[in-house]
Amino acid sequence: DQQVKQNSPSLSVQEGRISILNCDYTNSMFDYFLWYKKYPAEGPTFLISISSIKDKNEDGRFTVFLNKSAKHLSLHIVPSQPGDSAVYFCAVQRGDSSYKLIFGSGTRLLVRP
């Protein structure tokens, strides 16, 4: 049973527009949420995170929104650039001394010039 779901396997966006990537989770005990970006044949790189005490975290062009009641996480990229084309994974963690991250299946973003 998937605890973290990224229901859109792919997304295509025009350069300069907003990219919105979504992630849903099932367990209300998760309290730390992360987004990773992955290029082909490379390891994922950490992008941005948010704890459950917040509903928004912003870092430059990247903003993560958390809706705890809906168990929904989203990543907004504004403006989108061709270099943002990659696979984006959301990951979740339980705060009760868990060392583990649980990853979604990823969304492939293509930003068209």
Partner 1 sequence: SQTIHQWPATLVQPVGSPLSLECTVEGTSNPNLYWYRQAAGRGLQLLFYSVGIGQISSEVPQNLSASRPQDRQFILSSKKLLLSDSGFYLCAWGRGVGGDNIQYFGAGTRLSVL
Query: By CB under 8 A, which span of 13-21, 31-39, 55-63, 74-82 interacts with partner 1?
Result: 31-39
CA 28 vs. chain centroid, Å, equals 17
Q: Please return the burial class of 53, using the count of CB atoms within 10 Å of its CB with bins 0-12, 13-18 and 19+.
A: exposed
- CB-based contacts of 95, cutoff 8 Å, min separation 6: 29, 31, 32, 52
Binding mask 47-86 for partner 1 (x = CB under 8 A): --x-x-----------------------------------
Query: By CB under 8 A, which span of 11-19, 38-46, 54-62, 66-74 interacts with partner 1?
Result: 38-46
Q: Where does this chain bind partner 1 (CB under 8 A)? A: 6, 31-32, 34, 36, 41-46, 49, 51, 89, 93-106
